[in-house]
Structure 1
Amino acid sequence: MALSMDSVTLRPARPVPAETAPQPGASLGGSMPGYAPLAMPAQSFRKFSKSERRAWINPPATPVAARLAVYGGAAAITAYGAYQMYKVVGVSTTTLLEWVMVVLFVLTFSWIALSFTASLVGFVWLILNRHKREPLPSALTERTAVVMPIYNEAPARVFGAMQAIIEDVESTGLGEAFDYFFLSDTTDGDVWVAEERAFLAMRERMPGERIYYRRRRKNTSRKAGNIADFVTRWGGRYAHMLVLDADSVMSGDAVVRLAAAMEADPDSGIIQSLPMIVNRNTLFARLQQFAARITGPVFAAGLTAWMGRDGNYWGHNAIIRTRAFADHCGMPDLPGRPPFGGHILSHDFVEAALIRRAGYSVYMLPTLGGSYEESPPSLIDLAARDRRWCQGNLQHSRVIGARGFVWPTRQHFATGIMGYLASPLWMAQLIVGIVLVLQSHYIRPEYFTTDFSLFPAWPRFDYERALQLFALTIGILLAPKFLGLIFALIDGPTRRGSGGALALIASTFVEILVSAAMAPIMMLIQSGSVVQILSGRDTGWNPQRRDDGSIPFSSIARRHRSHALLGIVTLFAAALISPSLVLWMSPTIAGLVLAIPLSWASGQLWIGLGLKRVSLLRTPEETTPPAVVRRANALAEELAHVGRDHDDALLSIHADQAFRAVHEAFLPEKPRHRLGDVDVDLAIASLKLNDAETVEDACAWLKPKERVAVLADRGLIALLARLPSERERRGAA
């Protein structure tokens, strides 16, 4: 993993493809407004001069006290832990393996010490600021685009969520300041056509709203490229853009307050909200939902306190100054092949770093409220998403040393990288600990070395001190959860919404116990991801599974059988060495041995709903769902029943001439291709359509990519439309 910037060179900025080459005043078949292009040049990580950084209009105060408390406190705690660990192994002559143990301990201990001090500062910040809230603005003077990138999502869900957001924004009386965009990167032909149908239906339901839809022909650079495509074609229309995820829901109050905050602060580049998890019912998802609601605000407040205006961006539920983003956040491709080369996966951290480097502030409003998202429904679903995040964060090792970044930005990168390296470090620490115990039990020590000494070199440990250090580590690790619990107990609405004080306390202990059992499984999963990435294995880009529901038990067993086997082997090995070792490792061993049933249970609805019925793992948003969330859920259910999300796209286009005309109008002009270049999917689709005698033949023969090629080409659509159906063919015969 290269940490040096010396090897990082930039490819030139990619030219805008012919299909997207903006012409002022043009539009995309009526589904989008006229073009208002902004240039978005690729940025350099090797070249930057401080003279390029804009001057503050209203210079912010640096949060010196908070940073000293967080980093100074973490350094002091780490130094104390390191000293105690040295004393544990330093009773006699310290061996090389014992020094390795000390180093690994310090690395992992420093990580949790920093989390502890940040959460402690966050707790104090919340106590002091929980009642501060600015009034809603009476007017907004600048326009904001609310953009939702989508990728093979259920149209009923995303269009229902957006409609709920629009209605809630309109209820504030400031809806005229906002336009709304669905930015599709969908690659499934059936979902693509369902999106167009849902868009048309939404325009009919809300005829006065400015709602737009476009699908990219090629999803270059994934989500970052999707947003960049919007900015370079339509960004000039809007002073700000509020970026959502496909599972985002935001209240009108939150949307308007973000826009007002951006207008009031000319130095702001990105303002991030704190999304709360909603709508979750499986055991695992409700654990995440509860932890995010109770512990999340403490961590977020700690970040807000120490980072000040040098903050970070999580890629969604945040508002961005559009021109500043265009001028300074063009994503370059990194040289080399994935996983460390190519386009930048975790682009949001890098965009925050670049816009901050340019002289704009990035910060969070952790008490804003009204910002919501969803979470993966099971442990396996989280692992799939986490694999992509792992690659993106490790890829940041290529940019952490970029010129011009402020040091808090580098800390954000380091935190993200360490978040994944912590797992293999933890695993290495466990292995070294086991080897040391094995060594003390089975390897005869050399009591008298070749060096002259009057006393033997006994291999000894200070077990009492080790137990005290273990207790300290557990205390520091769990402290943020208990700080979150204390704040929730103090805050009346949170306490009542979580089922009362007793239910809140019981829920916290349930979350701690189950999360602790799952932690060793995630340690192995993340360690495996790190090894795969370091060995050059790239991750794919698959749509996330957002609905509640279980994965087949056979798939779970295959995924976790190696984890369970490792747990069983470790149990027997530890038992042969010492019963005390089994006791010391019992949390890790239990989690691994029970990996299969734990993972199975994580995705079960009935377990999550059972806990809900007895008021465990409740959150205020679950007890009294926010109005915008209730409306989004109702619309999603209604649209799923009356919509046609699962229709065959080719049959739909073939059967409905009016819809076919609209679909063709939405298509961009085909890009020019060089002579000799052949689109294989297009060519094969053309041959199959020419051979087909009925539309049913075509549907059966065309593969997924060939179906998309047909839907994207007006000539092939015409060829499809001329095919008779089986019924018509039988009637003619």
Structure 2
Amino acid sequence: MTSSPSADDAAVSAQTQPGTSAETAPQDTGGMPPALPSAMPRQDLRRAPPAAQRRLANVKGQALRRLAVLVPAAALAIFGAYEMHAVLSLDSMTVLEWCLWALFVVTFSPIALAAVTAVAGFVRQWQLSLRPPLQAQLADFAPQGRTAVLMPCYNEDAAAIAASLHAMLADLQQQYGDRALQWFDWFLLSDTRVPERALQEEEAISLLRQRWPTAGLYYRRRTINTDSKSGNLHQFCEQWGARYDYLLTLDADSLLSAHALLGLVYRIEHEPRAGLVQTVPRLIDGVSLTARLQQFANAIYGPIVASGLAAWTNPSGNYWGHNAIIRRQAFMEAAGLPHLPGKPPFGGAILSHDFVEAALMRRAGWQILIADDLPGSYEEAPPSIVDMAIRDRRWCQGNLQHARVICARGLHWVSRAHLATGIMSYVSSVLWLLLVLVGLMLAMQAQYIRPDYFSSDSFLPVWPRQDAPRALRLFFITMGVLLVPKLMGTLLYLLRKSLRRSAGGAARLLRNVLFETLLSILIAPVMMCVHSAAVLAVLAGSTTKWNAQRRDDGTLPWGQLLRRHKWHMVLGLALGAAAWFNSWALLAWLSPMLVGLLLAVPISAWTASPKIGRWFAERGWLQTPEENQPPAPLLLRKQVECDYAARIGATAPLLEQLAQPELVARHLALTLPPQQPQTRDIPPALALARVKLEDARSQRDALAWLTPAELGFVLADRTLFAQLAALPR
């Protein structure tokens, strides 16, 4: 925190830039470096690359590691299917019972794989703890190739972005000296459409350039947002990618330590077959209970799951779209995304591009590695259930699109498994909901046939001709399998002294695990309904777009929450009424789900409240290692975020900027030459902006006539902005 913007600016300049000046700095005066166009061909999903290009390499011991995970997972799934069949088949099975069995098998199999993967992750994490850290190997390392750090943004908080970029530069300089600043070029790739946000981004990049004159800091805002985020990155590659050996992709909320930045370069340079190295981001800086819940689970259970995934999928791992380094040659040669035939939601541009890009690069023979042993990679979590729902709606459409990709020619079978997992991550919610409904129908059917079918000594409904003791045993087995990742993560923290201390000690850790589990149980039914609704909306033909995400405050008025959660409460009432008229035992059996649905509005409000979140944080609830010992880049970001917020928040309105020649010149320098789209591709807002500028007699007239969308195009087009600036005031 800073006492005043001017004091902080002086302190930052003195602390982070000793011996440098703008006059001696090799800083480009425009928004971007000189272009070096290179082709990035779109891939054909119906035709695999020639066998000579598919340099598929076996990794020693990989087959045994995969068998060690997949065979026990398959055995556990088969055991669950057998037990469920035994429960239902004392007599001939009805159609409803067969449906229940099929739904159970399909939903139990993924959690069986997740459980065995978690056990493998526990073993791998224990082995990693015995190895020397990678940091020790970076002291004398100097990269041979050039790396472009790419941060796409869309209507984001420019001050937060600037503070994060500043923190990463400061940590890099402090850890490895001024020379390290020359190893990376930093690009803010904007698709922002809100004019005020675009002007703030220009102020942010200008401030960063003033404070870091020797660093390569660049800014580009597209006129037309073709293919959203994936198109943003692909257009960069086609124009400037050939200048670099590696691309390090970030999100607008990403934060990487200096060791993580250099460690990624070290890893990809020392593995020439690696096309992509993906870190495992840790969630940080959460305020609300929703955000803190996610970051606690991510800290305690996430490493176990990620290490288990790395254990059996590497070198055919996955890409999560950010906090990863990519070999530019591999990406441009193999990962050009095609447009899927047909219209959205299943056709058109691929929304969840990362999974597909990883699969295409693996198809071409490049390794995709999950670097579960490389710490220092961070991001932020959505602050509320509503924000999670908005994000997941877009992800759901993108993942369901993978049904059109999963059968592409030449994909590695593990890549197909990643695509299938992405699809199932949303479809499984529909299946779980159907499982509940079919079970309820069976209970009601049994009640109709035999009114007194709940035994006094069993909490589980005893269906006609079904094995109740075996069903109860299967229930506890299923719950145990579901909780294995939590148990393995907690056990790892309890057994390792350093981890145990970082989580506040054993007692606080166990208390927080219990609290996280109970809170997750309340939220899970709502998210099941959210995901089910998203799947049904996509199947019905509804589509969505890339929207800006809220990062800090997720609160909404109670009226809006009521509108968003009304159908969740209706479902809770319907299920509760059906159980009420059937049996008290069934009502009690469904009570965890019913409580979450009936209290969806207050749960959503309370878990989004920053005030409530801070109250729990002050008392150590859901404490993570990053809170107990904040990482260096997070501390550096907090030192400057208030100053950047004050300075960028005070960005002059456009009309005032038009009266200052130096700001007009700055904007023109940061704006690319106009694109030349085909006539049929010109957006209507761009065409209207041209007409209005031709008719305007003054800047005030033009700004009064232009809509925000039209003004956004004017700011992104050098010719149109110059035309606006030339008008009388």
What is the CA-CA distance between 1:319 and the residue it aligns to? 0.5
Native 8 Å contact 1:37 1:232 kept in 2: yes
Instruction: Specify the alignment match of 1:220 in structure 2.
Output: 226
Matched, 1:530 2:525: no
Correspondence for 1:651: 655
1:529 maps to a residue whose letter is A
In structure 1, what residue type is equivalent to 2:310?
T
**Equivalent of residue 158 in structure 2, options 142, 155, 159:** 155
Residues 682 and 78 of structure 1: is their aligned pair in 2 closer, same or farther, counting only changes over 3 Å?
A: closer
1:616 Cα deviation (Å)?
Answer: 1.2
**Distance (whole Å) between structure 1 residues aligned to residue 680 and residue 448 of structure 2:** 71
Distance change >3 Å, CA 519–CA 705, structure 1 → 2? same
Q: C-alpha displacement at 1:459, in angstroms?
A: 3.5
> Does residue 1:84 correspond to 2:90, yes or no?
no
Are the counterparts in 1 of residues 55 and 364 from structure 2 also a CA contact under 8 Å? no
Kept after mapping to 2: 8 A contact 1:681/1:705: yes
Match of 1:452 in 2: none
The correspondence of residues 9-408 of structure 1 with structure 2, limited to 5 A, is 30-49=30-49, 51-55=51-55, 59-132=58-131, 133-134=133-134, 135-137=136-138, 138=140, 139-171=142-174, 172-173=176-177, 174-408=180-414
CA distance in 1, matches of 2:402, 2:680: 38
- Alignment partner of 2:511: what SS? helix
Partner deviation per Cα, 1:54-93 (whole Å, 9 max, x = no partner): 436x752252232223211111111111111112111222
Q: Which residue of 2 aligns with 1:728?
A: none
Q: Structure 1 counterpart of 2:608, which letter?
A: G
**One-letter amino acid matched to 1:570:** L
Deviation at 1:687, TM superposition (A): 5.1
In the alignment, structure 1 residue 585 sits paired with structure 2 residue 590: yes
Residues 723 and 48 of structure 1, relative CA distance in 2, 3 Å threshold: closer
- How far, CA to CA, are the matches of 2:224 and 2:694 in structure 1? 25
- What is the total number of aligned residue pairs between the two structures? 685
Contact 2:222 2:716 in 1 (8 A): no
CA apart distance, 1:402: 1.0
- Whether the 8 Å contact between 2:54 and 2:363 is mirrored in structure 1 is no
Q: Does residue 637 of structure 2 align to residue 618 of structure 1?
A: no
What residue is the counterpart of 2:705 in the other structure?
Answer: 701
Contact 2:223 2:713 in 1 (8 A): no
| 8 Å CA contact retained: 1:155, 1:645 | no
C-alpha distance after superposition, 1:299-320 (max 9, x if no partner): 0000010112111010100000
Amino acid at match of 2:418: H
* Secondary structure of residue in 2 paired with 1:486: helix
Q: Are the aligned partners of 1:681 and 1:706 in contact in 2 as well (CA < 8 Å)?
A: yes
Distance across 2 between alignment mates of 1:442 and 1:474: 29
1:715, distance to aligned residue in structure 2 (A): 5.1
Alpha-carbon contact 1:273-1:371 (below 8 Å) kept? yes
Pairwise CA RMSD of aligned residues?
2.1
Q: Identity over the aligned pairs, expressed in percent?
A: 44
Preserved CA contact (<8 Å) 1:154 1:191: yes
Q: Which residue pairs with 1:661 in the alignment? A: 665
Q: Deviations over 1:93-123 (max 9, x none)?
A: 2111111110101111111111101101111
- Relative distance call for 1:652 and 1:501 in structure 2 (3 A) is farther
Alpha-carbon deviation of 1:613?
Answer: 1.7
Give yes or no for contact 1:53–1:357 (8 Å, CA) kept in 2.
no
Rounded Cα–Cα distance in structure 1 between residues aligned with 2:255 and 2:101: 46
Equivalent-residue separation in structure 1 for 2:625 and 2:378 (angstroms): 13
Shift of 1:695: 4.2
- CA shift, 1:184, in A, is 1.1
- Structure 2: distance between partners of 1:143 and 1:54: 26
CA offsets per residue over residues 321-368 of structure 1, 9 Å max, x none?
Answer: 001110111010000001110011111011111111111111111121
CA displacement at 1:465 relative to structure 2: 1.4
Matched letter for residue 206 of structure 1: W
Query: Matched residue of 2:590: which SS?
Result: helix
Find the aligned partners of 1:627 and 1:670 in 2 and give their Cα distance: 41
C-alpha spacing 1:575/1:696, structure 2 compared with 1 (3 Å): same
Q: Structure 1 residues 29, 51: CA separation in 2 closer, same or farther (over 3 Å shift)? A: same
Deviation at 1:677, TM superposition (A): 8.3
CA shift in 2, pair 1:696/1:499, >3 Å: farther
Q: Residue 252 of structure 2 aligns to a residue in which SS?
A: coil
**Corresponding residue of 2:634:** 629
Report the residue type matching 1:684 in the other structure: L
Aligned to 2:10: none
Q: Judging changes above 3 Å, is the alpha-carbon distance between structure 1 residues 100 and 638 closer, same or farther for their aligned structure 2 residues? A: same
User: Residue 519 of structure 1: which of 503, 520, 524 is its match?
Assistant: 524
- Contact kept? 1:191, 1:645, Cα under 8 Å: no
| Corresponding residue for residue 23 of structure 2 | none
Letter in 1 for 2:429: S
Deviation of 1:468 after TM superposition, in Å, equals 1.2
Offset of 1:413 from its aligned partner?
Answer: 0.7
Q: 1:423 to 1:561 in 2, by over 3 A?
A: same
What is the match of residue 5 of structure 2?
A: none
Moved more, 128-137 or 421-430: 128-137
Deviation by residue 1:441-469 (Cα, 9 ceiling, x = unmatched)? 12479xxxxxxxxxxxx942222211111
Assess, with a 3 A threshold, how the Cα gap between structure 1 residues 49 and 691 changes in structure 2: closer, same or farther.
Answer: closer
1:358 to 1:681, Cα distance in 2 relative to 1, 3 A: same
Cα deviation digits, residues 136-185 of structure 1 (max 9, x gap): 33122111111111111111111111121122222313332211111111
1:456-471 paired onto structure 2 within 5 Å = 459-471=464-476
Contact 1:258–1:319 (CA under 8 A) maintained in structure 2: yes
Q: After the TM superposition, which of the residue ranges 60-69 and 289-298 deviates more from structure 2?
A: 60-69
Call closer, same or farther: CA 1:50–1:564 in 2, change over 3 Å.
Answer: same
Shift of 1:597: 1.0
Q: Indicate the residue corresponding to 2:24 in structure 1.
A: none
- Match of 1:539, SS state, is coil
Aligned amino acid, residue 519 of structure 2: V
TM-score (norm 2): 0.90
Which residue of structure 2 lines up, in the alignment, with residue 449 of structure 1?
Answer: none
Equivalences for residues 432-451 of structure 1 within 5 A? 432-443=438-449
Residues 386, 194 of structure 1: alpha-carbon distance in 2 compared, 3 angstrom cutoff: same
* Secondary structure of 1:643's aligned partner: helix
Cα distance change, pair 673–579 in 1 and its aligned pair in 2 (3 A): closer
Greater Cα shift, 45-54 or 82-91: 45-54
Q: Which residue of 1 aligns with 2:610?
A: 605
Give the Cα–Cα distance (whole angstroms) in 2 for the partners of residues 152 and 178 of structure 1.
Answer: 25
Asked whether the 8 Å contact 2:152–2:229 carries over to 1, the reply is yes
Task: Specify the code of the residue in structure 1 equivalent to 2:172.
Answer: V
Is the 8 Å Cα contact of residues 269 and 360 (structure 1) preserved in structure 2? yes
Kept in 1: contact 2:387–2:554 (CA 8 A): no
Deviations along 1:14-67, one digit per CA (max 9) or x if unpaired, are xxxxxxxxxxxxx997221112222110011111155243436x7522522322
From the superposition, tell whether residues 504 and 534 of structure 1 become closer, same or farther in structure 2 (CA, over 3 Å).
same
Whole-angstrom CA distance in 1 between matches of 2:612 and 2:145? 48
2:649 is paired with a residue of what secondary structure?
coil
Cα displacement (A) at 1:710: 2.6
Question: Which runs of 5 or more structure 1 residues have no equivalent in the other structure?
Answer: 1-26, 446-457, 726-733
* Residues 712, 408 of structure 1: alpha-carbon distance in 2 compared, 3 angstrom cutoff: closer
Aligned residue identity for 1:438 = M
Distance in 2 (CA, whole Å) between partners of 1:288 and 1:644 is 30
Post-superposition offset of 1:610 = 1.5
State the one-letter code of the partner of 1:366. Answer: D
